Chains A and B, each alone.
Chain A
Amino acid sequence: DVQMTQSPSTLSASVGDRVTITCRASQSIGKWLAWHQQKPGKAPKVLIYEASNVQSAVPSRFSGSGSGTEFTLTISSLQPDDFATYYCQYHDRYFGPGTIVDIK
């Protein structure tokens, strides 16, 4: 099975900061990677699919890149609504352990 890891596990940042989260796969997965955002007590929301395609209605400050085994999610200017947990996922299968983005 493909193993997904994320770093960091927790990220403390301020409004306006540029934030980058990394996701690594244990073997090459091409561009079959999605990013999801989840807030406490709520269902997740898809942000990015196929590594770099931004889901409809997702703000343009979110972007994704990478292929093969290393991927990144970037928030260009962190907003108050962005404090949440972020998960990467391989192609409708395995999730990373999540990255909590909290307020510095």
Chain B
Amino acid sequence: KNEVEQSPQNLTAQEGEFITINCSYSVGISALHWLQQHPGGGIVSLFMLSSGKKKHGRLIATINIQEKHSSLHITASHPRDSAVYICAVRTSNFGNEKLTFGTGTRLTIIP
């Protein structure tokens, strides 16, 4: 079993729909990252969080440390949101920045 599990693996939705991508992990963590990989291959960091919720524009990320679960939400989705979204965790080992990645969720937004 992978340390970081994402669901769904693939998601297709209509423009304007509310999107939720889930990430579950099995290890103790110091932080969780959400990354976006564009169709061209570039990777961008969206959020880094260790508790609660963060919001940036139409994107919202939440984390529940007790349940070892995080969600990434996209409101009013747009075709330009089509990308692979990757969850990554940093374990609790002090001083170690190593990230362990989920396998990604491929999101396609249809106009």
User: Do A and B share a complex?
Assistant: no
Binding site for A on B (CB under 8 A): none
Binding site for B on A (CB under 8 A): none
